[in-house]
Amino acid sequence: MKSEKAEFRVETIASGLENPWALAFLPDGRMLVTERPGRLRIVSKDGKLSTPVEGLPPVAAVGQGGLLDIALAPDFSQSKTIYFTFAEPRGPNGATQPNSTSAASARLVEDKGIAKLENVKIIFRQEPAYPGGFHFGSRIAIARDGSLFITTGERNLKTPAQDLKQDLGKVIHIKADGSIPQDNPFVENKNARPEIWSYGHRNIQGAAIQSGERQAVDRRARHPRAATRSTFPRRARITAGR
């Protein structure tokens, strides 16, 4: 496989995963892999799949929703802390509708070949929850100070992305415990949610912090012809308060 500037070799590392969505490398070279239907697996260096990691919260596996991104805390080797995003059921008695993009922290524990999550804590819930199965985002980017940037989709509703009273179509900035950094751009705006870092986005599904700047890739669907659908990645620099 070739691009304009590099040549790539594609190899199958593991098979048998259902809708794998994100991965994070563990210090020993194994991988944590999320499956959108709501399972978290550990993939060994030789491609063997673990049984599903125990202890995940309920996941709304509807449409594009499910278990989404995963990232290791900077001090994972000591703390065993991980972060993950998922479509959370917000309906009565655990119903999957309505739902929202949520983020959680947890401690990954392994004992006698069994992996489980402990101390699971929801550190962000997208407000408000909406029914449907489109545009959940979502990626996690961890800043040098350990704070988290979390991208959310606008749930295919478009206009809420411009509404500062809603978390839809935003880049969210929170501390590792879910509290709000005091230098967030809308902290003192009574007509805005203080966790918002940037707004007006559609469905950001890629994010990275590079050279101290916050950047994201916004995947935007276009329809060149009625019978076909093509999706093009678009790179955009994310600026606080915009």
pLDDT tens digit sequence for 141-160:
999 999 999 999 999 999 99
The length of the chain is 242
Phi, psi of 104 (to 5 degrees): -140, 155
| pLDDT score recorded for residue 225 | 33
In contact, 130 and 98? CB cutoff 8 Å: yes
Q: Give the pTM.
A: 0.88
In contact, 33 and 13? CB cutoff 8 Å: no
Positions marked catalytic: 135
| pLDDT score recorded for residue 241 | 64
Q: Which residues contact 230 (CB under 8 A, 6 or more apart)?
A: 221, 222, 223, 224
C-alpha span between 77 and 81 (Å, rounded): 9
Edge-to-edge strand ranges of the sheet holding 148-151: 140-142, 148-151, 170-174, 196-199
In contact, 29 and 13? CB cutoff 8 Å: no
Q: Give the chain's largest Cα–Cα span.
A: 54
Q: What is the dihedral of CA 72, 74, 80, 84, to 10 degrees?
A: -30
Identify the helix (H) or strand (E) that includes residue 77. Answer: helix 76-79
C-alpha span between 148 and 140 (Å, rounded): 7
- Please state the separation of Cα 74 from the chain's center in Å: 17
Phi, psi of 161 (to 5 degrees): -60, -25
Per-residue model confidence as pLDDT tens for the chain (242 residues):
888 889 999 999 999 999 999 999 999 999 999 999 999 999 999 999 999 999 999 999 999 999 999 999 999 999 999 999 999 999 999 999 999 999 999 999 999 889 999 999 999 999 999 999 999 999 999 999 999 999 999 999 999 999 999 999 999 999 999 999 999 999 999 999 999 999 999 999 988 887 655 555 444 433 333 233 334 445 556 667 66
* Cα R_g (the chain), whole angstroms: 18
Question: CB-side exposure of 176: number of CA atoms within 13 Å?
Answer: 17
C-alpha span between 134 and 45 (Å, rounded): 34
Q: What is the dihedral of CA 24, 147, 202, 71, to 10 degrees?
A: 10
The pair of three-digit structure tokens given for residue 191, joined into one six-digit string: 């007509």
In contact, 163 and 133? CB cutoff 8 Å: no
Structure confidence by residue, pLDDT tens digits, 28-56 = 999 999 999 999 999 999 999 999 999 99
